[in-house]
Amino acid sequence: MLNSVGLQGPGVEAWLEHDLPPLVATGARVVVSIWGRTVEDYRRAADLLADAPPMVVAVEVNLSCPNVEDRRSMFAHSASATEEVLVATAGCGRPRWAKLSPNVTDLVEIAEAARRGGAEAVTLVNTVMGMAIDVQTRTYSLGAGGGGLSGTAVHPVAVRAVHDVAAALPGLAIVGVGGVARGEDAAELLLAGAAAVQVGTATFADPRAPARVLEGLRTWAGRQRMASVSELVGAVHRQVGDPELEDTEATR
Ligand SMILES: Cc1cc2nc3c(=O)[nH]c(=O)nc-3n(C[C@H](O)[C@H](O)[C@H](O)COP(=O)(O)O)c2cc1C
């Protein structure tokens, strides 16, 4: 999928008043995603969540947003801006997951900055920057020009990001996301080092995709006679004889 829907939302206050109560009524644990255009925006959003009920177990800080104070570059493209935003969001008083962009030269550096700023976990990855051009009209297919690529095509990008951050920063929890549509896709992210997995684009084709992925993972794990899928987490890094990947263009 290539999208440019932007970041919509009713705002934290309206969300707390109208959207959260029905979620809480389901008994589900809730992770709330916040974003901003300035560090102050993030701080305000986080502070407004300080009194949220305990079912709000974590706050995901989406850093893939233009920083209007820094020539419109994205927060997630800068280690210092990422750290600054994480520090500013401590007021929510619950674990924060830094949602990072794969569109960077050194994702490990950004993940490290998020951890320094107080992130308990990183969510990897947001969409990959893409574009489509309509050859008939000779203009952009999406109104905004570029867009974010997601779904099956970005799954290997997510696996690589999770893998490399897990290898470099053991101990930092990772939530894997990108192109998960089947149980095996989730297993791949767990093997790369994710402790949890999210399902995004697949829900557009099938709103029950997360439940289907979970069921697929359960069936697959059962066939492997696995006691718990937690044994998968990071297992690829523990493989005996796993060759040090020479990071050349050829191996990429
Ligand atoms: C239509 C659409 C809207 C999205 N909106 C957000 C958003 O508001 N905040 C965010 O952190 N990520 C957003 N994402 C990114 C997804 O959460 C996810 O990181 C990415 O799409 C890769 O996962 P997937 O292939 O399972 O969708 C959006 C993705 C899509 C396709």
* Residue-wise pLDDT tens digits, 37-78: 999 999 999 999 999 999 999 999 999 988 888 866 899 999
Q: Which residue's CA is minimally distant from atom 6 of ligand 1?
A: 7
**Does any domain span residue 184?**
yes
- Residue 246 in this model has a pLDDT that exceeds 70: no
Instruction: Return all residues near 225 (Cβ < 8 A) that are at least 6 apart.
Output: none
**Spacing, Cα 59 to ligand 1 middle (Å):** 16
Q: What is the pLDDT of residues 152-191, one digit of tens each?
A: 999 999 999 999 999 999 999 999 999 999 999 999 999 9
Nearest CA to 76 out of 112, 103, 115 is that of 103
Is the Cβ atom of 126 under 6 angstroms away from ligand 1?
A: yes
**Does any domain span residue 245?**
no
The DSSP-derived string for 111-155 is HHHHHHTT-SEEEE--PEEEE-EETTTTEESBTTBEEEE-SGGGH
Taken as a whole, the chain contains a residue count of 252
Is the Cβ atom of 1 under 6 angstroms away from ligand 1?
A: yes
For position 161, which CATH number holds?
3.20.20.70
Q: Which of 52-56, 107-111, 240-244 shows the lowest mean pLDDT across its residues?
A: 240-244
Q: Which of 1-15, 108-122, 129-143 shows the lowest mean pLDDT across its residues?
A: 1-15
Q: How many domains does one find in the chain?
A: 1
**Does any domain span residue 248?**
no
**Does any domain span residue 121?**
yes
**Spacing, Cα 224 to ligand 1 middle (Å):** 31
Q: Which residue's CA is minimally distant from atom 9 of ligand 1?
A: 62
Per DSSP, what are the bridge partners of residue 80? none
**Spacing, Cα 126 to ligand 1 middle (Å):** 6
> 85 near 59, Cβ under 8 Å?
no
**Does any domain span residue 190?**
yes
What crossing angle do the helices spanning 107-116 and 79-88 adopt, rounded to 10°?
30
**Mean of the per-residue pLDDT values for the chain?**
93
**Does any domain span residue 29?**
yes
The whole-model pTM stands at 0.94
Nearest CA to 97 out of 196, 18, 203, 186 is that of 196
**Does any domain span residue 246?**
no
**Does any domain span residue 252?**
no
Looking at the annotation, which residues are catalytic?
65
Is the Cβ atom of 154 under 6 angstroms away from ligand 1?
A: yes
Is the Cβ atom of 150 under 6 angstroms away from ligand 1?
A: yes
**Spacing, Cα 175 to ligand 1 middle (Å):** 13
Q: Supply the range of the domain harboring residue 114.
A: 2-238
> 67 near 38, Cβ under 8 Å?
yes
The pLDDT of residue 7? 85
Is the Cβ atom of 199 under 6 angstroms away from ligand 1?
A: yes
| Minimum-distance ligand 1 atom for the alpha carbon of 150 | 25
Q: What is the pLDDT of residues 205-234, one digit of tens each?
A: 999 999 999 999 999 999 999 989 999 999
Residue found by looking up tokens 């401590």 in the block: 90
